[in-house]
């Protein structure tokens, strides 16, 4: 049940309605969290204490040392694809006087994207909340900081791969990212796209449970992420439905990804139904 306190949408600041509960966990326990919904933005927001949220990102499977090799092997082709987008859209922009091309990966985790970027001649830097991962990356010779304000040089591209939906203060983070992007720089965002699926399960199967949004703090739809980017001064220049390209998927998940992509194409991409969305954006003032 809702605690009776009005929650305001982190995107548009309008009041949100209580919508149900979803599973969550930290290093000490598993529990349910309250989920709120903004009809105007079509986003779900998880009401969770900030300390528990931080602790969750020490407990998640994708930050554990013993899982690093498995995650690398399952995502290397996907990360290569993301880097191809970085080069395709980012390298169209001007470089600095030394001819260097720079990238900041927000939520760099194990540092796999940073490593691959270095191999391609890109100058990478990472931002990561988990201090254990920061230490591990630095042992590998990678430059990783905990906060954006630690970054001293502006970069050509900022990547946010499955990290934007983790932060509760989305508008503040995007405004800070504008501060580290070069005027003609590129923002490359990958988010999950589970809201429609979560609504269906809540109504017809799970009866009030919204755990299908995963561990997202803010679960975006295509409508929601576009609205957030516009409100923070970004212009969307490319939308790519993510149908699992480069990822190792089980047969059932592969069929779901491909079928949702076909349905998306049938709508002329007006409705994005794939489980993920990749968005390329630029700062509005650079146009």
Task: Name the strand (E) or helix (H) holding 114.
Answer: helix 112-119
pLDDT of residue 249: 86
Partners of 15 in the beta sheet? 8
Closest CA to 273 of 163, 194, 216: 194
Strands 17-25 and 30-38: antiparallel
Prediction pTM value:
0.92
Q: Encode the chain (287 residues) as per-residue pLDDT tens digits.
A: 455 678 999 999 999 999 999 999 999 999 999 999 999 999 999 999 999 999 999 999 999 999 999 999 999 999 999 999 998 998 755 455 456 799 999 999 999 999 999 998 999 999 999 999 999 999 999 999 999 999 989 999 999 999 999 999 999 999 999 999 999 999 999 999 999 999 999 988 877 899 999 999 999 999 999 999 999 999 999 999 998 888 888 898 889 899 999 999 999 888 899 999 999 999 986 54
Here the tokens at position 5 are 């306190």
Helices in 140-221 by DSSP H: which ranges?
Answer: 170-180, 195-201
Q: Does the domain formed by 17-286 have CATH 3.40.50.620?
A: no
pLDDT of residue 131: 95
- Full DSSP string of 123-135: EEEEE-S-HHHHH
Cα dist. 120→74, 115, 194 in Å? 20, 9, 33
pLDDT of residue 94: 46
Task: Name the strand (E) or helix (H) holding 75.
Answer: helix 68-85
């Amino acid at each position: 049940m809702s605690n009776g306190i009005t929650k305001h949408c982190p995107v548009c600041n309008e009041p949100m309605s209580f919508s149900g509960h979803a599973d969550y966990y930290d290093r000490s326990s598993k529990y349910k969290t309250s989920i709120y919904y903004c009809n105007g933005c079509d986003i779900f927001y998880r009401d969770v204490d900030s300390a528990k949220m931080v602790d969750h990102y020490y407990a998640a499977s994708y930050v554990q040392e013993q899982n690093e090799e498995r995650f690398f092997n399952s995502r290397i082709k996907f990360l290569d694809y993301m880097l191809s987008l970085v080069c395709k859209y980012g390298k169209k922009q001007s470089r600095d006087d030394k001819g260097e091309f720079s990238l900041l990966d927000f939520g760099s985790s194990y540092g796999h994207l940073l490593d691959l970027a270095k191999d391609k001649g890109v100058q990478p830097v990472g931002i990561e909340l988990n201090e254990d991962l920061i230490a591990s990356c630095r042992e590998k010779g990678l430059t990783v900081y905990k906060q954006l304000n630690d970054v001293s040089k502006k970069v050509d591209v900022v990547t946010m791969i499955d990290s934007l939906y983790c932060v509760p203060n989305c508008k503040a983070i995007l405004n800070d990212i504008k501060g580290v992007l070069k005027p003609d720089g590129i923002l490359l965002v990958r988010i999950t796209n589970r809201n429609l699926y979560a609504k269906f399960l809540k109504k017809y199967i799970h009866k009030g449970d919204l755990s299908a949004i995963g561990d997202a703090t803010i679960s975006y739809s295509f409508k929601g992420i576009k609205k957030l980017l516009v409100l923070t001064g970004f212009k969307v220049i490319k939308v790519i439905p993510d149908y699992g390209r480069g990822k190792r998927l089980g047969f059932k998940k592969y069929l779901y990804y491909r079928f949702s992509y076909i349905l998306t194409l049938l709508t002329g991409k007006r409705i994005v139904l794939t489980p993920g969305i990749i968005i390329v954006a630029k700062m509005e003032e650079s146009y």
